[in-house]
Amino acid sequence: MSIKNQLKIISSLYSKGNFIEIINYVEQNGNQIENDWKILTIIGLAFFNNNDFEKAIFYQNKSIKKELTSHNLHNLGLILGKKGDIQGAINAFNKCLKIGIDQPVYYTNIIDFCLENNFIHNALKVSNDMRNKFPDNPQTFFNLGLTYE
């Protein structure tokens, strides 16, 4: 099956919240899964949403090895943070910020992580970075307000 068709199937299942079906698909077709960073990222998120952090990390790392993007680094940070690996999450988020973020929600998630872990100075820095990159986005000002509270 082509990358395009696999991506279409897996994306459709993911958008419907059918994480178990993605996991079953991977288990049935494991050696036939295309080595595409988008497919690997979605598979990692399916395992994450099923609380299987080890497999989620495995697939996010495979995605990162295939193509380093802010998307898969952001996801890895979320997974590691949820797993309790705070330093690993920080490392992933720092790499994500370093290569550049193109989605406001990534900033928001990193800010939330910083605030949840009492990294107020970091949350403020990321909020200011977001304000510089997305000055007209309403979420920017909401995040700044949260940080200053």
Residues in the chain: 149
Query: What is the CATH number assigned to the segment(s) 69-148?
Result: 1.25.40.10
Percent of the chain with pLDDT over 90: 66
Instruction: Note the pLDDT of residue 55.
Output: 96
Instruction: Note the pLDDT of residue 12.
Output: 95
pLDDT at residue 147 greater than cutoff 70:
no
Q: What is the pTM of this model?
A: 0.87
Instruction: Note the pLDDT of residue 149.
Output: 60
Query: What is the CATH number assigned to the segment(s) 1-67?
Result: 1.25.40.10
| Domain range annotation of the chain | 1-67, 69-148
**Alpha helical stretches, state H, the chain:** 3-15, 19-29, 37-49, 53-66, 70-83, 86-99, 104-116, 120-133, 138-148
In whole numbers, what is the pLDDT of the chain averaged over residues?
Answer: 90
Is 130 in contact with 140 (CB distance < 8 Å)?
Answer: yes
Residue 28: helix, strand or coil by DSSP? helix
pLDDT digits (tens, 9 = 90+) for 102-138: 899 999 999 999 999 999 899 989 988 988 888 887 7
Write the CB contacts of 134 (distance below 8 Å, at least 6 apart in sequence). Answer: 104, 107, 140
pLDDT at residue 3 greater than cutoff 80:
yes
Lowest mean pLDDT among 17-31, 82-96, 132-146: 132-146
Residue whose C-alpha is closest to residue 146's, from 97, 110, 106: 110
